Amino acid sequence: MVVVLGLDPGSRITGYGIVAETSGRLSLLEAGTIRPPAKRDMPFRLGEIYKGLSEVIARHSPQESALENVFVSKNMQSALKLGQARGAALAACTVAGLSVAEYEPTKVKKSIVGVGNAPKDQVAFMVARLLGVTNPGWAEDASDALAVAICHLNQRRMNRLAGL
């Protein structure tokens, strides 16, 4: 069995999803969001992202983590903010000994629904379906995190088949 943590870091909301694969079957272990108190300053909130993810990791002991890569942002300020959230989240992963894989957003969509430009709700629908969940109560950010976890498991399987 391999357990993967999918991540969607953000300064306000960080989505996460834990997916296990056993003999080619996916199963959902946990999905949720970390929402640090908006009234606290940014450094405190970064610490909450780190601690929140560390707790999720301690609960499920994933061996690997995955997230979308980012090359652009609205502006310099949002790039710095997003970078900070990613930094806190990635530090939590690697300090806990997890590997980290990054995927293009189009690659994630393609892996889930077959096309790279699929609308968000279609991706969310397929994520729930692939995990066998009929009425998912999870937030959009949690669904996005699950999507990249599933993408990573698909990629692992393909690498294995290709003998990589």
Query: Which residues carry out catalysis?
Result: 8, 68, 141
> Per rule CB under 8 A, is residue 85 in the interface with its own copies?
yes
Alpha helices in the chain (DSSP H): 42-60, 76-95, 105-113, 120-130, 140-161
Give the whole-angstrom CA distance, residue 53 versus residue 46. Answer: 11
Q: Binding segment for its own copies among 12-20, 66-74, 135-143, 153-161 (CB under 8 A)? A: 66-74
- Report the nearest approach of its own copies to the CB of residue 57 (Å): 12
Which among 86, 53, 50 is positioned nearest to 69, based on CA atoms?
86
The reply on whether position 47 binds its own copies by CB under 8 A is yes
Residue with tokens 């969310």: 124
Of 22-30, 86-94, 117-125, 152-160, which segment contacts its own copies by CB under 8 A?
86-94
Nearer to its own copies, 90 or 142 (CB): 90
How far, in Å, CA of 36 to CA of 107, rounded?
29
Q: How far is CA 32 from CA 40, 72, 88, 143, 155, in A?
A: 21, 25, 17, 8, 23
Q: Which residues pair with 64 in a beta bridge?
A: 4, 99
User: Is position 51 an interface residue for its own copies (rule: CB under 8 A)?
Assistant: yes
43 is an interface residue for its own copies by CB under 8 A? yes
119 sits near its own copies (criterion: CB under 8 A)? no
**Token digits for 84?**
């900070």
Query: Binding of its own copies at residue 63 (CB under 8 A)?
Result: no
**Member of 16, 18, 34, 86 binding its own copies (CB under 8 A):** 86
Choice between 87 and 136, CB closer to its own copies: 87
Q: Which residues bind its own copies (CB under 8 A)?
A: 41-44, 46-51, 70-73, 76-77, 79-95, 100
